[in-house]
Structure 1
Protein backbone atom coordinates (compact mmCIF):
# COMPACT_ATOMS: atom_id res chain seq x y z
CA UNK A 1 0.00 0.00 0.00
CA UNK A 2 1.32 3.41 -0.92
CA UNK A 3 0.62 6.73 0.71
CA UNK A 4 0.50 9.47 -1.91
CA UNK A 5 1.57 13.10 -1.51
CA UNK A 6 -2.09 14.17 -1.21
CA UNK A 7 -2.51 11.69 1.69
CA UNK A 8 -4.57 9.22 -0.35
CA UNK A 9 -3.85 5.49 -0.38
CA UNK A 10 -3.06 3.29 -3.38
CA UNK A 11 -3.10 -0.52 -3.39
CA UNK A 12 -1.66 -2.80 -6.07
CA UNK A 13 0.35 -5.97 -6.65
CA UNK A 14 3.82 -6.56 -8.10
CA UNK A 15 6.54 -9.19 -8.36
CA UNK A 16 9.29 -6.67 -7.47
CA UNK A 17 8.29 -4.25 -4.74
CA UNK A 18 11.37 -1.99 -4.79
CA UNK A 19 11.23 -1.63 -8.58
CA UNK A 20 7.53 -0.85 -8.56
CA UNK A 21 7.77 1.80 -5.84
CA UNK A 22 10.60 3.40 -7.82
CA UNK A 23 8.43 3.35 -10.96
CA UNK A 24 5.55 4.98 -9.11
CA UNK A 25 7.90 7.78 -8.05
CA UNK A 26 10.10 8.22 -11.11
CA UNK A 27 8.80 6.55 -14.24
CA UNK A 28 6.09 7.01 -16.86
CA UNK A 29 5.26 3.33 -16.11
CA UNK A 30 3.63 4.47 -12.87
CA UNK A 31 -0.11 4.07 -12.49
CA UNK A 32 -1.98 7.12 -13.75
CA UNK A 33 -3.30 7.60 -10.21
CA UNK A 34 0.16 7.81 -8.63
CA UNK A 35 1.84 9.81 -11.42
CA UNK A 36 -0.07 12.93 -10.41
CA UNK A 37 0.31 12.28 -6.66
CA UNK A 38 4.07 11.94 -6.36
CA UNK A 39 6.02 11.31 -4.28
CA UNK A 40 4.56 8.10 -2.91
CA UNK A 41 5.73 6.22 0.16
CA UNK A 42 5.43 2.49 0.82
CA UNK A 43 3.51 2.06 4.08
CA UNK A 44 2.40 -1.59 3.98
CA UNK A 45 3.12 -4.80 2.10
CA UNK A 46 2.39 -8.53 2.27
CA UNK A 47 4.04 -11.44 0.44
CA UNK A 48 2.18 -14.17 -1.45
CA UNK A 49 3.42 -17.29 -3.23
CA UNK A 50 1.30 -16.77 -6.34
CA UNK A 51 -0.46 -14.06 -8.31
CA UNK A 52 -3.88 -15.52 -7.56
CA UNK A 53 -3.44 -15.18 -3.80
CA UNK A 54 -2.01 -11.68 -4.17
CA UNK A 55 -4.90 -10.57 -6.40
CA UNK A 56 -7.50 -11.91 -3.97
CA UNK A 57 -5.85 -10.11 -1.07
CA UNK A 58 -5.57 -6.89 -3.11
CA UNK A 59 -9.30 -7.08 -3.80
CA UNK A 60 -10.05 -7.61 -0.10
CA UNK A 61 -7.90 -4.63 0.89
CA UNK A 62 -9.53 -2.41 -1.72
CA UNK A 63 -12.92 -3.20 -0.16
CA UNK A 64 -11.80 -1.76 3.19
CA UNK A 65 -12.58 1.78 4.24
CA UNK A 66 -9.72 4.25 4.64
CA UNK A 67 -9.95 3.90 8.43
CA UNK A 68 -9.75 0.11 8.16
CA UNK A 69 -6.75 0.35 5.82
CA UNK A 70 -4.92 2.66 8.22
CA UNK A 71 -5.70 0.26 11.10
CA UNK A 72 -4.22 -2.58 9.00
CA UNK A 73 -1.03 -0.56 8.51
CA UNK A 74 -0.62 -0.14 12.27
Structure 2
Protein backbone atom coordinates (compact mmCIF):
# COMPACT_ATOMS: atom_id res chain seq x y z
CA UNK A 1 0.00 0.00 0.00
CA UNK A 2 1.11 3.51 -0.80
CA UNK A 3 1.80 5.85 2.10
CA UNK A 4 0.23 9.29 2.38
CA UNK A 5 1.25 12.09 4.68
CA UNK A 6 -0.69 14.94 6.23
CA UNK A 7 1.64 17.77 7.14
CA UNK A 8 1.64 21.24 8.64
CA UNK A 9 4.07 23.97 7.60
CA UNK A 10 4.79 27.13 9.53
CA UNK A 11 5.21 30.07 7.18
CA UNK A 12 7.42 33.14 7.60
CA UNK A 13 4.32 35.24 8.36
CA UNK A 14 3.58 32.92 11.32
CA UNK A 15 0.58 31.25 9.62
CA UNK A 16 0.11 27.51 9.19
CA UNK A 17 -0.46 25.58 5.99
CA UNK A 18 -1.90 22.05 6.09
CA UNK A 19 -1.48 19.72 3.15
CA UNK A 20 -1.39 16.12 1.98
CA UNK A 21 1.13 14.28 -0.20
CA UNK A 22 2.50 10.85 -1.05
CA UNK A 23 6.08 12.18 -1.24
CA UNK A 24 6.85 14.31 1.79
CA UNK A 25 10.43 15.21 0.90
CA UNK A 26 9.54 16.31 -2.64
CA UNK A 27 6.51 18.29 -1.48
CA UNK A 28 8.55 20.18 1.12
CA UNK A 29 11.09 20.99 -1.61
CA UNK A 30 8.26 22.31 -3.81
CA UNK A 31 6.96 24.56 -1.03
CA UNK A 32 10.45 25.77 -0.11
CA UNK A 33 11.54 26.49 -3.69
CA UNK A 34 8.31 28.22 -4.75
CA UNK A 35 7.58 25.60 -7.39
CA UNK A 36 3.91 26.61 -7.58
CA UNK A 37 3.70 30.39 -7.93
CA UNK A 38 -0.04 30.52 -7.12
CA UNK A 39 0.21 28.45 -3.94
CA UNK A 40 -0.53 29.76 -0.45
CA UNK A 41 3.07 29.31 0.64
CA UNK A 42 4.76 30.98 -2.36
CA UNK A 43 4.81 34.48 -0.83
CA UNK A 44 5.17 33.12 2.71
CA UNK A 45 8.55 31.47 2.35
CA UNK A 46 10.65 30.24 3.95
CA UNK A 47 8.48 27.52 5.42
CA UNK A 48 9.29 25.03 8.15
CA UNK A 49 7.71 21.61 8.54
CA UNK A 50 6.37 21.50 12.09
CA UNK A 51 4.21 18.35 11.95
CA UNK A 52 3.52 15.33 9.82
CA UNK A 53 1.82 12.00 10.23
CA UNK A 54 1.66 8.95 7.99
CA UNK A 55 -1.40 7.12 6.66
CA UNK A 56 -1.84 3.94 4.66
CA UNK A 57 -5.45 4.73 3.74
CA UNK A 58 -5.56 7.76 1.42
CA UNK A 59 -9.23 8.37 2.20
CA UNK A 60 -8.48 8.68 5.91
CA UNK A 61 -5.57 11.02 5.13
CA UNK A 62 -7.83 13.27 3.05
CA UNK A 63 -10.43 13.29 5.82
CA UNK A 64 -7.84 14.26 8.45
CA UNK A 65 -6.34 16.98 6.27
CA UNK A 66 -9.77 18.57 5.82
CA UNK A 67 -10.45 18.25 9.55
CA UNK A 68 -7.17 19.90 10.57
CA UNK A 69 -7.67 22.75 8.08
CA UNK A 70 -10.84 23.69 9.97
CA UNK A 71 -9.12 23.76 13.35
CA UNK A 72 -8.24 26.92 15.23
CA UNK A 73 -4.62 28.02 15.47
CA UNK A 74 -4.52 26.99 19.14
CA UNK A 75 -5.76 23.50 18.34
CA UNK A 76 -3.22 23.11 15.51
CA UNK A 77 -0.47 24.18 17.90
CA UNK A 78 -1.62 21.58 20.44
CA UNK A 79 -1.27 18.93 17.72
CA UNK A 80 2.14 20.26 16.67
CA UNK A 81 3.33 20.25 20.30
CA UNK A 82 2.04 16.74 20.94
CA UNK A 83 -0.54 17.92 23.49
CA UNK A 84 -3.03 15.30 22.30
CA UNK A 85 -5.07 15.32 25.51
CA UNK A 86 -5.87 19.01 24.93
CA UNK A 87 -7.35 18.49 21.45
CA UNK A 88 -10.82 17.49 22.69
CA UNK A 89 -11.06 20.51 24.97
CA UNK A 90 -10.02 22.88 22.18
CA UNK A 91 -13.01 22.06 19.98
CA UNK A 92 -15.02 25.15 19.12
CA UNK A 93 -18.04 25.41 21.39
CA UNK A 94 -20.85 27.90 21.54
CA UNK A 95 -21.80 29.04 24.99
CA UNK A 96 -25.16 30.75 25.43
Smaller-chain TM-score range? over 0.9
Decide which structure has greater helix share: 1
Who is 1:9 aligned against? 16
Mapping of residues 1-74 of structure 1, within 5 Å = 1-29=8-36, 32-74=39-81
Helix, strand or coil for the counterpart of 1:46?
strand
Total equivalences in the alignment:
74
With normalisation by structure 2, the TM-score equals 0.72
With normalisation by structure 1, the TM-score equals 0.92
**CA RMSD, 1 decimal:** 1.3
5+ residue gaps, structure 1, are none
Structure ID, larger Rg: 2
5+ residue gaps, structure 2, are 1-7, 82-96
